[in-house]
Amino acid sequence: MPKVLISDSMSNIAQKIFEKNNITVDVKTGLSEEEIIKIIPDYDGMVVRSATKVTKNIISAAKNLKVIGRAGAGVDNIDVSYAKENNMIVMNTPGGNANATAEHAFALIMSVLRKIPFANETTHKGMWEKKNIKGNELSKKTLGIVGFGNVGVRLSNLVKGFDVKVLVYSKSLKSRKEDYPHVEDVSFEELISKSDIISFHCKATKEGKPLISKDHYKKMKKTAYIINAARGNIVDEKDLNDALNENLIAGAAIDVFSKEPAKENILFNNPKIILTPHIAASTSEASVVVAEMVANQICDFLLNKVQKNIV
Ligand code: 3PG
Protein backbone atom coordinates (compact mmCIF):
# COMPACT_ATOMS: atom_id res chain seq x y z
CA MET A 1 0.00 0.00 0.00
CA PRO A 2 1.50 3.41 -0.96
CA LYS A 3 2.37 5.84 1.81
CA VAL A 4 2.07 9.64 1.75
CA LEU A 5 3.47 12.31 4.07
CA ILE A 6 1.62 15.61 4.53
CA SER A 7 4.26 17.97 5.93
CA ASP A 8 2.41 21.31 5.99
CA SER A 9 -0.88 22.19 7.61
CA MET A 10 -3.83 21.98 5.24
CA SER A 11 -7.48 20.99 5.20
CA ASN A 12 -8.03 17.46 6.58
CA ILE A 13 -9.98 16.68 3.41
CA ALA A 14 -6.62 15.62 1.92
CA GLN A 15 -6.11 13.04 4.64
CA LYS A 16 -9.65 11.71 4.18
CA ILE A 17 -9.19 11.33 0.41
CA PHE A 18 -5.97 9.33 0.88
CA GLU A 19 -7.63 7.09 3.48
CA LYS A 20 -10.65 6.52 1.24
CA ASN A 21 -8.25 5.37 -1.48
CA ASN A 22 -6.47 2.98 0.92
CA ILE A 23 -3.31 5.08 0.89
CA THR A 24 -1.58 5.30 4.26
CA VAL A 25 -1.17 8.93 5.24
CA ASP A 26 0.83 10.61 8.00
CA VAL A 27 0.37 14.28 8.87
CA LYS A 28 3.59 15.62 10.40
CA THR A 29 3.95 19.37 10.20
CA GLY A 30 6.66 21.76 11.39
CA LEU A 31 9.49 19.24 10.90
CA SER A 32 13.08 20.37 10.35
CA GLU A 33 15.02 19.30 7.24
CA GLU A 34 16.90 16.72 9.36
CA GLU A 35 13.66 15.28 10.73
CA ILE A 36 12.19 14.97 7.23
CA ILE A 37 15.39 13.34 5.94
CA LYS A 38 15.06 10.65 8.63
CA ILE A 39 11.47 9.68 7.77
CA ILE A 40 11.19 10.44 4.04
CA PRO A 41 12.57 7.07 2.80
CA ASP A 42 9.28 5.48 4.00
CA TYR A 43 7.09 7.50 1.66
CA ASP A 44 5.91 7.23 -1.96
CA GLY A 45 4.33 10.68 -1.98
CA MET A 46 4.74 13.97 -0.17
CA VAL A 47 2.30 16.90 0.09
CA VAL A 48 3.43 20.44 0.96
CA ARG A 49 2.28 24.04 0.93
CA SER A 50 5.01 26.71 1.04
CA ALA A 51 6.44 26.15 4.52
CA THR A 52 8.31 22.89 3.84
CA LYS A 53 11.43 23.47 1.75
CA VAL A 54 11.91 20.35 -0.35
CA THR A 55 15.67 20.57 -0.69
CA LYS A 56 18.27 18.50 -2.56
CA ASN A 57 19.11 16.80 0.75
CA ILE A 58 15.50 15.72 1.28
CA ILE A 59 15.15 14.57 -2.33
CA SER A 60 18.42 12.57 -2.16
CA ALA A 61 17.21 10.80 0.97
CA ALA A 62 13.76 10.06 -0.49
CA LYS A 63 14.57 6.66 -1.95
CA ASN A 64 10.94 5.64 -2.55
CA LEU A 65 9.42 9.03 -3.33
CA LYS A 66 7.63 9.19 -6.67
CA VAL A 67 5.55 12.35 -6.37
CA ILE A 68 5.69 15.71 -4.60
CA GLY A 69 2.36 17.54 -4.56
CA ARG A 70 2.02 21.25 -3.84
CA ALA A 71 -1.36 22.25 -2.41
CA GLY A 72 -1.17 25.66 -4.08
CA ALA A 73 0.45 27.31 -7.07
CA GLY A 74 4.06 28.36 -6.37
CA VAL A 75 6.67 25.61 -6.37
CA ASP A 76 9.68 27.77 -5.52
CA ASN A 77 10.00 25.90 -2.20
CA ILE A 78 10.65 22.67 -4.11
CA ASP A 79 13.87 21.88 -5.99
CA VAL A 80 11.87 20.86 -9.04
CA SER A 81 14.77 20.18 -11.42
CA TYR A 82 16.57 17.98 -8.87
CA ALA A 83 13.32 16.12 -8.17
CA LYS A 84 12.94 15.48 -11.92
CA GLU A 85 16.56 14.29 -12.18
CA ASN A 86 15.65 11.81 -9.48
CA ASN A 87 12.60 10.53 -11.38
CA MET A 88 10.05 12.21 -9.17
CA ILE A 89 7.18 14.20 -10.54
CA VAL A 90 6.09 17.50 -9.05
CA MET A 91 2.48 18.64 -9.33
CA ASN A 92 0.60 21.71 -8.15
CA THR A 93 -3.04 22.83 -8.09
CA PRO A 94 -3.27 25.73 -10.56
CA GLY A 95 -6.28 27.95 -10.09
CA GLY A 96 -7.27 26.30 -6.80
CA ASN A 97 -6.49 29.40 -4.75
CA ALA A 98 -6.57 32.01 -7.53
CA ASN A 99 -9.79 33.68 -6.43
CA ALA A 100 -8.62 33.85 -2.80
CA THR A 101 -5.35 35.46 -3.86
CA ALA A 102 -6.99 37.92 -6.24
CA GLU A 103 -9.55 38.92 -3.60
CA HIS A 104 -6.74 39.52 -1.10
CA ALA A 105 -4.89 41.68 -3.62
CA PHE A 106 -8.14 43.59 -4.12
CA ALA A 107 -8.55 43.96 -0.33
CA LEU A 108 -4.98 45.31 -0.12
CA ILE A 109 -5.72 47.79 -2.92
CA MET A 110 -8.79 49.11 -1.11
CA SER A 111 -6.93 49.13 2.21
CA VAL A 112 -4.09 51.32 0.90
CA LEU A 113 -6.46 53.63 -0.97
CA ARG A 114 -8.79 54.14 2.03
CA LYS A 115 -6.10 53.82 4.76
CA ILE A 116 -8.19 51.16 6.53
CA PRO A 117 -5.45 49.78 8.85
CA PHE A 118 -4.57 53.28 10.17
CA ALA A 119 -8.25 54.19 10.54
CA ASN A 120 -8.92 50.95 12.40
CA GLU A 121 -5.95 51.24 14.74
CA THR A 122 -6.59 54.88 15.68
CA THR A 123 -10.35 54.48 16.06
CA HIS A 124 -9.80 51.55 18.45
CA LYS A 125 -7.62 53.89 20.50
CA GLY A 126 -10.39 56.52 20.67
CA MET A 127 -8.35 58.98 18.58
CA TRP A 128 -11.09 59.91 16.02
CA GLU A 129 -8.72 60.79 13.15
CA LYS A 130 -11.57 61.68 10.77
CA LYS A 131 -9.97 64.97 9.69
CA ASN A 132 -6.59 63.33 9.00
CA ILE A 133 -7.86 60.46 6.88
CA LYS A 134 -8.68 61.24 3.30
CA GLY A 135 -8.68 58.26 0.98
CA ASN A 136 -8.62 57.84 -2.78
CA GLU A 137 -11.16 56.06 -4.95
CA LEU A 138 -10.38 53.12 -7.17
CA SER A 139 -12.87 54.26 -9.79
CA LYS A 140 -11.34 55.96 -12.84
CA LYS A 141 -7.83 54.81 -11.87
CA THR A 142 -5.38 52.73 -13.89
CA LEU A 143 -4.52 49.31 -12.47
CA GLY A 144 -1.35 47.68 -13.79
CA ILE A 145 -1.26 43.89 -13.47
CA VAL A 146 2.12 42.21 -13.89
CA GLY A 147 1.63 38.56 -14.83
CA PHE A 148 -1.64 37.33 -16.29
CA GLY A 149 -2.13 33.78 -15.08
CA ASN A 150 -5.10 32.58 -13.03
CA VAL A 151 -4.68 35.25 -10.33
CA GLY A 152 -3.99 38.21 -12.62
CA VAL A 153 -6.97 37.32 -14.82
CA ARG A 154 -9.24 36.95 -11.80
CA LEU A 155 -8.17 40.35 -10.41
CA SER A 156 -8.86 41.98 -13.79
CA ASN A 157 -12.37 40.51 -13.66
CA LEU A 158 -12.96 41.53 -10.03
CA VAL A 159 -12.40 45.22 -10.78
CA LYS A 160 -14.76 45.26 -13.75
CA GLY A 161 -17.48 47.16 -11.87
CA PHE A 162 -15.09 49.94 -10.87
CA ASP A 163 -14.60 51.76 -14.15
CA VAL A 164 -10.89 51.01 -13.92
CA LYS A 165 -8.49 50.95 -16.85
CA VAL A 166 -6.51 47.70 -16.65
CA LEU A 167 -3.03 47.52 -18.16
CA VAL A 168 -1.34 44.12 -18.30
CA TYR A 169 2.27 43.16 -18.76
CA SER A 170 2.54 39.48 -19.59
CA LYS A 171 4.77 37.63 -22.02
CA SER A 172 1.95 35.25 -22.95
CA LEU A 173 -0.92 37.74 -23.34
CA LYS A 174 -0.40 38.54 -27.04
CA SER A 175 -1.37 35.06 -28.21
CA ARG A 176 -4.63 35.02 -26.17
CA LYS A 177 -5.50 38.73 -26.13
CA GLU A 178 -8.88 38.25 -27.84
CA ASP A 179 -10.14 36.41 -24.72
CA TYR A 180 -9.52 39.52 -22.61
CA PRO A 181 -10.95 42.57 -24.37
CA HIS A 182 -11.20 44.42 -21.02
CA VAL A 183 -7.42 44.75 -20.60
CA GLU A 184 -4.67 46.52 -22.53
CA ASP A 185 -1.47 44.66 -23.39
CA VAL A 186 1.46 47.00 -22.60
CA SER A 187 5.21 46.95 -22.06
CA PHE A 188 6.57 46.84 -18.51
CA GLU A 189 7.88 50.41 -18.89
CA GLU A 190 4.47 51.67 -20.00
CA LEU A 191 2.72 49.89 -17.15
CA ILE A 192 5.17 51.35 -14.63
CA SER A 193 4.75 54.94 -15.80
CA LYS A 194 0.97 54.94 -16.38
CA SER A 195 -0.46 52.92 -13.47
CA ASP A 196 -1.93 54.28 -10.26
CA ILE A 197 -1.74 50.83 -8.68
CA ILE A 198 0.69 48.11 -9.75
CA SER A 199 -0.14 44.59 -8.59
CA PHE A 200 2.28 41.69 -9.11
CA HIS A 201 0.86 38.29 -10.02
CA CYS A 202 3.79 36.62 -11.74
CA LYS A 203 6.40 34.04 -10.78
CA ALA A 204 9.72 35.14 -9.32
CA THR A 205 12.62 35.04 -11.76
CA LYS A 206 14.79 31.91 -11.59
CA GLU A 207 17.82 33.93 -10.46
CA GLY A 208 15.71 35.71 -7.83
CA LYS A 209 16.37 39.08 -9.49
CA PRO A 210 13.70 41.69 -8.60
CA LEU A 211 11.46 42.84 -11.45
CA ILE A 212 11.31 46.41 -10.30
CA SER A 213 14.44 48.51 -9.80
CA LYS A 214 15.29 51.93 -8.36
CA ASP A 215 15.03 53.50 -11.82
CA HIS A 216 11.50 52.15 -12.23
CA TYR A 217 10.37 53.92 -9.05
CA LYS A 218 11.62 57.20 -10.50
CA LYS A 219 9.39 56.65 -13.55
CA MET A 220 6.27 55.87 -11.50
CA LYS A 221 3.57 58.35 -10.51
CA LYS A 222 4.33 59.84 -7.09
CA THR A 223 0.78 58.91 -6.10
CA ALA A 224 1.19 55.26 -7.14
CA TYR A 225 0.89 52.16 -4.95
CA ILE A 226 2.60 48.78 -5.22
CA ILE A 227 0.81 45.57 -4.27
CA ASN A 228 2.73 42.29 -4.00
CA ALA A 229 0.86 39.09 -3.19
CA ALA A 230 3.00 36.95 -5.51
CA ARG A 231 6.54 36.27 -4.24
CA GLY A 232 8.81 38.29 -1.94
CA ASN A 233 11.83 38.64 -4.17
CA ILE A 234 9.86 40.17 -7.06
CA VAL A 235 9.98 43.52 -5.25
CA ASP A 236 13.32 44.27 -3.56
CA GLU A 237 12.42 45.28 -0.01
CA LYS A 238 15.23 47.81 0.48
CA ASP A 239 14.51 49.55 -2.84
CA LEU A 240 10.81 49.72 -1.98
CA ASN A 241 11.54 51.12 1.46
CA ASP A 242 13.87 53.75 -0.04
CA ALA A 243 11.33 54.67 -2.73
CA LEU A 244 8.71 55.27 -0.04
CA ASN A 245 11.05 57.22 2.20
CA GLU A 246 12.11 59.38 -0.77
CA ASN A 247 8.42 59.96 -1.67
CA LEU A 248 8.90 58.46 -5.14
CA ILE A 249 5.61 56.57 -4.65
CA ALA A 250 2.73 56.88 -2.16
CA GLY A 251 2.52 53.47 -0.55
CA ALA A 252 2.55 49.70 -0.79
CA ALA A 253 0.84 46.58 0.47
CA ILE A 254 2.91 43.44 0.79
CA ASP A 255 1.81 39.86 1.55
CA VAL A 256 5.03 38.01 0.66
CA PHE A 257 8.60 38.44 1.87
CA SER A 258 12.15 37.64 0.81
CA LYS A 259 12.46 35.49 3.94
CA GLU A 260 9.44 33.75 5.43
CA PRO A 261 8.35 33.57 8.16
CA ALA A 262 9.31 37.28 8.30
CA LYS A 263 10.47 37.87 11.86
CA GLU A 264 12.62 40.87 10.98
CA ASN A 265 12.29 42.99 7.88
CA ILE A 266 13.32 46.42 6.66
CA LEU A 267 9.67 47.15 5.82
CA PHE A 268 8.47 46.70 9.40
CA ASN A 269 7.04 49.90 10.93
CA ASN A 270 7.09 51.92 7.71
CA PRO A 271 3.71 53.71 8.03
CA LYS A 272 3.28 53.82 4.25
CA ILE A 273 3.19 50.03 3.99
CA ILE A 274 0.47 47.56 4.86
CA LEU A 275 1.84 44.09 5.63
CA THR A 276 0.09 40.72 5.84
CA PRO A 277 1.81 37.36 6.55
CA HIS A 278 1.44 35.47 3.21
CA ILE A 279 -2.28 34.93 3.74
CA ALA A 280 -3.55 35.77 0.26
CA ALA A 281 -4.49 32.15 -0.39
CA SER A 282 -5.55 31.41 3.17
CA THR A 283 -9.32 31.20 2.99
CA SER A 284 -11.53 28.37 4.23
CA GLU A 285 -12.76 27.87 0.68
CA ALA A 286 -9.38 27.79 -1.10
CA SER A 287 -7.70 25.58 1.48
CA VAL A 288 -10.32 22.88 0.91
CA VAL A 289 -10.06 23.18 -2.89
CA VAL A 290 -6.26 22.91 -3.05
CA ALA A 291 -6.14 20.03 -0.52
CA GLU A 292 -8.81 18.17 -2.45
CA MET A 293 -7.11 18.76 -5.80
CA VAL A 294 -3.66 17.68 -4.68
CA ALA A 295 -4.89 14.59 -2.84
CA ASN A 296 -6.99 13.41 -5.79
CA GLN A 297 -4.11 14.05 -8.21
CA ILE A 298 -1.65 12.10 -6.05
CA CYS A 299 -4.07 9.19 -5.59
CA ASP A 300 -4.64 9.09 -9.34
CA PHE A 301 -0.91 9.07 -9.97
CA LEU A 302 0.04 6.49 -7.35
CA LEU A 303 -2.86 4.16 -8.14
CA ASN A 304 -3.47 4.69 -11.88
CA LYS A 305 -0.29 6.42 -13.17
CA VAL A 306 -2.38 9.46 -14.24
CA GLN A 307 -0.25 12.61 -14.49
CA LYS A 308 -2.12 15.89 -13.96
CA ASN A 309 -0.87 19.43 -13.35
CA ILE A 310 2.77 18.45 -13.64
CA VAL A 311 5.21 21.36 -13.34
C1 3PG B 1 0.67 29.77 -3.67
O2 3PG B 1 1.76 29.77 -4.25
O3 3PG B 1 -0.21 28.92 -3.92
C4 3PG B 1 0.37 30.84 -2.69
O5 3PG B 1 1.44 31.70 -2.51
C6 3PG B 1 -0.13 30.29 -1.37
O7 3PG B 1 0.89 29.73 -0.60
P8 3PG B 1 0.49 28.96 0.75
O9 3PG B 1 -0.08 27.65 0.34
O10 3PG B 1 1.75 28.81 1.51
O11 3PG B 1 -0.51 29.79 1.47
Nearest protein Cα to ligand 1, atom 9: 49
Which residue from 29, 54, 278 has its CB within 8 A of the most atoms of ligand 1, so it is best to mutate? 278
- Alpha carbon of 248 to those of 1, 216, 225, 271, 272: distances in Å? 59, 10, 10, 15, 12
Q: Do the beta carbons of residue 75 and residue 92 sit within 8 Å?
A: yes
Write down the pTM of the prediction.
0.96
Question: 228 pairs with which residues across the strands?
Answer: 200, 254
Does any domain span residue 309?
A: no
In this structure, the answer to whether residues 161 and 263 fall within a common structural domain is yes
CATH number at residue 146: 3.40.50.720
Taking the mean position of all CA atoms in its chain, how far away is CA 29? 21
Considering Cα of 220, then 223, then 226, then 227, what sign does the dihedral take?
A: negative
- Let me know whether 44 and 13 are in one domain: yes
Question: How many whole angstroms from 11 Cα to the centroid of ligand 1?
Answer: 14
Query: Using one digit for the tens of pLDDT, what is the confidence trace for 246-276?
Result: 999 999 999 999 999 999 999 999 999 999 9
Give the per-residue pLDDT at 255: 98
Do 132 and 48 fall into the same domain?
Answer: no
Of all protein residues, the one whose alpha carbon is nearest to atom 5 of ligand 1 is 74
Q: What digits encode the pLDDT tens for the residues 187-226?
A: 999 999 999 999 999 999 888 899 999 999 999 999 999 9
Q: Please identify every residue annotated as catalytic.
A: 231, 260, 278
Q: Which atom of ligand 1 approaches the CA of 101 most closely?
A: 4
Other beta carbons less than 10 A from residue 29's beta carbon? 13
Q: Does residue 132 belong to any structural domain of this protein?
A: yes
What is the span of the domain harbouring residue 194?
A: 98-275
Q: Are residues 88 and 210 in the same domain?
A: no
Number of domains in the chain: 2
What pLDDT, on the 0 to 100 scale, is given for residue 206?
Answer: 80
